[in-house]
A and B are shown apart, each in its own frame.
Chain A
């Protein structure tokens, strides 16, 4: 009880203090408050992961009823991820915001909303009362909105922010409908009442309730086709906010889906297949669009859609496992999903932070304008490359481990499946493999074009690395990534409790399959070590061998042509041209070109923009239709005060007279009937 009070009062104290401090102190105080709150919530989260579920009941008001604060293992896992990313993001953000230190009010607002974002996130992960959950959800969304529109002078930023706000509220509509439905039927806002409700409903009712929640949370998580807000909001925000949004905020959607799986008792097999299909489409569509982006942050944002897809595949297999009563598959699926949640939070935040470094140094994120940054920013380049390898799911980093677990789950579930489910699983494997291959294509492009080769554009200013202290959280993330990659057993051990929640078998009773994941990963861990050892040995041999002979430097081979300009380099678009030609039916390109004609050509130009086909059909077209319908009533809004007063008068008259009229008519009908 007192702990919760302390938790909230730290946040409130921070919010009150921040406006009165100097810009530097604002950052420090925000970070300090977040560290304090993380320590408190992290302690309970860790307890819950070791098997001691924390359960407090907060006396609520007349409306909400008692508020249960239950930090079970699932909340614990997510709280730890939130805390880690927030501390690293806050640290990084302090330096990132240094460039804006003269905008005091903006920084105050930003710091306050950053702090509120953390508090509301931890709150919504730990309360199990739907009304309080929704309030925390709203606070989270608004504070995230304010964080995103930090650069609100730019029209595009504001537009992206509002787009995010609107779409998030569409998700709230679904959630409110779901929660109110349950509350209306059972009279309680406690999450446990959802369980009793779903049990009473049997079959379709429970399934429908789950679909309602799934759509609500899927908008937040960014499953295709609900992903359209994501590629706008992430690039518009400052780098640390993009990292946190992509790393954590969209994971709230995942948390919500997982929580609903725990409380709703429905037909898990069909839910599993539904999630699986959504996820494979999200994964493929996300990466397919990511490849053709020119904006580095937008590219990363589409990759979030892809990774949500991978997490979803894990959840889908887990559900199928529960539905068919196969605990090994259930364990593998949920373990893969939960571990990938952590992994994605790590490498995606690292990618966004390094992209932020690039932006700070060059003031552009257009891939086609960059190049050769590795020579001026070696640390950033290495960190970006590491994160790129990890996100492509390549050993020896963490991305491989979670994908490996999901693959194992998929191959396991092939064994005793019927023909229909076999086909679904087979295409899921196909999808996952293609996602991996496409991610490789996309990230070789990102690393190769942005950091390697020659600079494609001359900048007027110096390009240099950020301050050393800014790199500390980035190194911490990298170390953690390698650590998960090489010693995954430690982390999968922590996952025992959360998984036990889903499979319904207590983790304490070590049954045959519980030890399976850590044991199964033992040889993987050894293989990873062997891999690193081989690389080291070959490197040392090479170093020795290269010691003696002469090594010289010269120009790149260009078929004997000695004076190539940087413009001759392969560009990002040309690198993926073969791919985009193949995928023409699914992608959308708008291009403007003026061809070079004649012997003495004057000028020519070429411009191409990628657009989201689903967005066009599902968002733009309907909105356009609504707009053109609404335009018919445009004459009403003519701007003259007199007519507005007239509308008011008409309205008042109508309000008074229509009931009277209705009464008269009904009495007249009565009269007629009597005749």
Chain B
């Protein structure tokens, strides 16, 4: 089979680092070629060379037999290469059809004046959406769509302009199980239409399911390309240079969970009533998971507990004390920390160095009047940051480094360090390993277990079922703002969790029918 794209011996250097060393990579029509590697392995750099964002220092790119020393974004797209980034680039303020045709709007002439051909745009979009099984009106605002639907729009856009190669950068990182299945169906459809798909992912299980060939990168070097069916997950992990991971976190610890209730929630309803009547208990030594589809109200529950969004009713007890929490400051004062889903938006301060990012919560607790009255304790700041750096193995050149210079995993450790430094008694993790490499994931799971063993409450919200199944002692499932199931580690299976997550919807469907 002839390759659509062939990248030959590509090398890319940045000041002080060789990001890619002599990498060869090809894409055949009608295949899913998985690009695998830990964060920093060079996957994104390689794809940025393909999309024309970066110029390679050595090597060349051959597209349909034509050789290029370098590409530009325009050339790359003209030659049929389309990239769907992890952070989606759709425009929320435009409709689906306008998003798809942005920059290439179909035109018609009326009395010599060039006008937008709305009906043609509408019809073309309708056909495209049908093609990818997205049941929406083309004039729907993209801002009103869910993340997975936005992703579908990007795929439709790639298909609309006859892309031969579609690169998907971690497409499932914000999708629920069901949405992932839907995405895979579309990928299979694209495959049968002869498109070449490059699939970038950390998730080894998905690779087995959807991939045809897999190329592994490690620290910018080429580790080999193999047929997916000829290789086991363990072999891939070894190639990535990662540690053996599977199910190691679930060592027997059931004896450590006591009957003592550390934290409890009674009749929690948010002011906007997106979540209703939430009741649960967290025992000392236990890791409690929250499962459900996106939009099930898991993050909203955590925000209400943490005081980040207003409550209508609800009673919370921590260590036998009744909590009154109306703001994150109250939560912090009462010993609750929250590692949010989006580090960049609600986690760290990009203008602060590592030290300042770690110390902020502790200093807020130490000073008075909500942090208004009190001095910055620079000595304590240094000490606390050093302690957390060692405890958590944060890899950085100096604590005075900007946090933006760190990898996602290390940033996550800094945010966790912020709460631990403040001496919290309970910590909520929302999608704690999103966009984090396999190695750091394992470290974070270990830390969670260590925290639980120390008697600190651990609540984990995650969309990745294997993650919940391997680290949690108990899993609560939510659907449409309510709790629809609760399973111990022993009883929980993926099937049961998925069933509980969709139960309310089925009921609603029956009710409507």
Please determine whether chains A and B interact with each other in the same assembly: no
